[in-house]
Amino acid sequence: MSRFLLVAPPLTGHINPLVAVAAELTARGHQVEWCGYADRIRDAAGPTAVVHECALPEAGELLRPPTLTGPAAFRFLWEAFFIPLAEAMAPAVASAVHAFRPDAAVTDQHAVAGALVCERLGVPYLTSASTSAELIDPLADLPKVAAWLTGRLDALREAIGDPAATHDPRFSPYGVLAFTGRELLGDAAALPWERVHLVGPAIADRPGDPDFPWDALDPSRELVFVSLGTANTDAGARFLHEAAGALELLADRVQGVVADPGGQLTDPPPGILVRPYVPQLELLGRARAVVSHGGHNTVCEALWHGLPLVVAPIRDDQPIVARQVAEAGAGIRVRFGRVDAPKLAEALRTVLDDTGGHRTAAAAIGRSLRVAGGRQAAADHLEQLVTAHPAAAAGR
Amino acid sequence: MTSEAATPTALSIDEDTVLAQIAATLRELPDAGLEDAEISRETLFHDDLELESIDLVTLAGLLREQYGERVNLALFIADLELDEIIALTVGRLADYVTASLRATEEN
């Protein structure tokens, strides 16, 4: 039996893969505790999860105006969220390590406090990469932007890490658990493959929705699932209206189910099912195509089910994920801020038309994601990490 | 890359023409949805056109096809600070292209 500490930011998409890994580790008899934000973690992992609670940064959770996109969103994300988040989380990570004495840790790639405190205290740790975007060196063409980020990470390391360390704290020298697949990354990725483990999505059992009106689904039409994820509720009003319009244009052959947690679709066209929360995995099991903002988890879950996508990225890693989907042939990228109902309907028609090959490509990626090992492979790598560093916990 | 450096010969490269060419290239960016977009010198690459940094790389390739080796936009982009990328206008791109073309014309 080993003890594993999981360090996660207050972002659902980053927590979800770790929930599946935690369940796997627990099932194997290991002890798992979390460091992060109990409300968010228990929503996903259940009420019994042990959480070493972190303070939130002064600015609170990640809130950005809908118009903040592109490089300005990147600057905000690091300067105003991830860096202050690391400073706020660091004391709790240190006390969690002292109290729990983990044999190893899994630290989210963007909860940088996990990596930096673990390196300072000598805890072996794997990075949890919840998106494929960081793996392709997205700033390779923008060296001054990369230097800007490195400067901030270096300053953070001075404050909460081991100043003698030199590696990028987003990539643990012990290894990276990347919840994605080679087929999605494409050929562009030049990775230190010996320590980057592409384990595919780690999908946890999620609470179902006993109230979902399954009877309202029309078996004679193709089900299209529309979701902008959990972190973009206020940015999506215009797009969701255009999406509803597209679904209406295709109403003779398509039935839309729209996840609308922000209640943006106040007057949806008839025949479209709009729900604040949806049983996503069950829906994907019945769907024929997905319209998504390009959140990595939703994209991988769609591909897992062999579903082609229309991807409308908003910001952050989403444009990269969208490009990866398009280049893999499994979907079409549209512009979140510009696409209108007729263009969206045309994109949907294209991916739903099986002669176009999008479904075939999606199914191929889905098969490879299923054999990548997911939660079991992640747990295997963590057990091997402890075996390779058996005395790690003794000195603390 | 200032206009003061321009010689009479160099003036044969018309800034407005370059701007129009870049605007046309942007409107034809695959899947960018910019077919009907208004594009002027002041148009912000990211906030107005909603293009991503990866689109800059695509644009660099297209301009290279159009103008040849004389215009190396990738080099220009690589020299930009984060704040400069955020504030990047179509006009600034056009200035760079114009200056590159004039520089090679003078040589």
Position B8 scores a pLDDT of 40
Residues A364 and A380 in one domain: no
With contact defined as beta carbons under 8 Å apart, do A330 and A367 qualify?
no
- Which of chain B's residues have a Cβ under 8 Å away from the Cβ of A313? 52
Band of pLDDT at residue B107, cut at 50, 70 and 90:
low
A242, A338, A343: best mutation site toward chain B, by most B Cβ within 10 Å? A338
How much is the pTM? 0.90
| CA pair distance A171, A85, nearest whole angstrom | 18
Burial pattern A276-293, b for ≥16 Cβ within 10 A else e, equals eebbbeebbeebbbbbbb
- Judged by CB atoms closer than 8 Å, whether chains meet at B81 and A319 is answered as no
Position A392 scores a pLDDT of 59
Least confident piece of the model among A140-154, A162-176, A263-277: A263-277
**Residue B31 scores a pLDDT above 90:** no
pLDDT digits (tens, 9 = 90+) for A36-56: 999 999 999 999 999 999 999
Residue A395 lies in a domain: no
Residues A377 and A366 in one domain: no
Residues A169 and A219 in one domain: no
pLDDT digits (tens, 9 = 90+) for A61-100: 888 887 888 899 999 999 999 999 999 999 999 999 999 9
pLDDT digits (tens, 9 = 90+) for A7-34: 999 998 999 999 999 999 999 999 999 9
Residue ranges in A28-82 assigned as alpha helix (H): 38-45, 70-76
Dmax over Cα atoms in chain A, in whole Å?
67
pLDDT digits (tens, 9 = 90+) for A110-159: 999 999 999 999 999 999 999 998 888 888 889 999 999 999 999 999 99
Residues A257 and A123 in one domain: no
Averaged over A384-395, what is the pLDDT? 78
Averaged over A361-372, what is the pLDDT? 95
Position A31 scores a pLDDT of 98
Chain A residues within 8 angstroms (CB to CB) of chain B:
67, 69-72, 74-75, 138, 141-145, 148, 313, 319-320, 323, 332-339, 343
| CA pair distance A286, A126, nearest whole angstrom | 35
Question: Nearest CA to CA, how far is A252 from chain B (Å)?
Answer: 26
Averaged over B33-54, what is the pLDDT? 88
Residues A255 and A377 in one domain: no
Residues A272 and A260 in one domain: yes
Residue A195 lies in a domain: yes
Looking at every residue in chain A, the average pLDDT score rounds to 92
CATH number of the structural domain spanning residue B14: 1.10.1200
Residue A209 lies in a domain: no
- Residue A159 structural domain: 3-200+372-388
Averaged over A295-309, what is the pLDDT? 96
Neighbours of A239 (CB within 10 A): 26
Residue A92 lies in a domain: yes
Q: Phi, psi at residue A180, to the nearest 5°?
A: -150, -175
Looking at every residue in chain B, the average pLDDT score rounds to 84
Band of pLDDT at residue A206, cut at 50, 70 and 90:
confident
Position B7 scores a pLDDT of 42
Tokens of A144: 């001054």
Averaged over A359-387, what is the pLDDT? 96
Report the side by side order of strands in the sheet with A196-198.
A51-53, A31-36, A3-7, A104-108, A125-129, A176-178, A196-198
Residues A157 and A276 in one domain: no
Structurally, chain A folds into a number of domains equal to 2
Averaged over B2-28, what is the pLDDT? 72
pLDDT digits (tens, 9 = 90+) for B61-78: 999 998 988 899 989 999
Residues A366 and A376 in one domain: no
Question: Nearest CA to CA, how far is A273 from chain B (Å)?
Answer: 28
Band of pLDDT at residue B4, cut at 50, 70 and 90:
very low
- Residue B94 structural domain: 3-106
Structurally, chain B folds into a number of domains equal to 1
CA-based nearest residue in chain B for residue A72: B86
Averaged over A307-319, what is the pLDDT? 94
CATH number of the structural domain spanning residue A38: 3.40.50.2000
Band of pLDDT at residue A188, cut at 50, 70 and 90:
low
Residue A396 lies in a domain: no
| CA pair distance A65, A15, nearest whole angstrom | 23
Band of pLDDT at residue B5, cut at 50, 70 and 90:
very low
Residues A159 and A290 in one domain: no
A64, A145, A293: best mutation site toward chain B, by most B Cβ within 10 Å? A145
Position A230 scores a pLDDT of 74
Report the side by side order of strands in the sheet with A309-311.
A273-275, A254-259, A222-227, A289-292, A309-311, A331-333
Residues A235 and A94 in one domain: no
Least confident piece of the model among A196-200, A232-236, A242-246, A320-324: A232-236
Q: Considering CB atoms only, which of A138, A141, A323 is closest to B74?
A: A141
Position A390 scores a pLDDT of 83
Residue A394 lies in a domain: no
Residues A188 and A275 in one domain: no
Residues A236 and A320 in one domain: yes
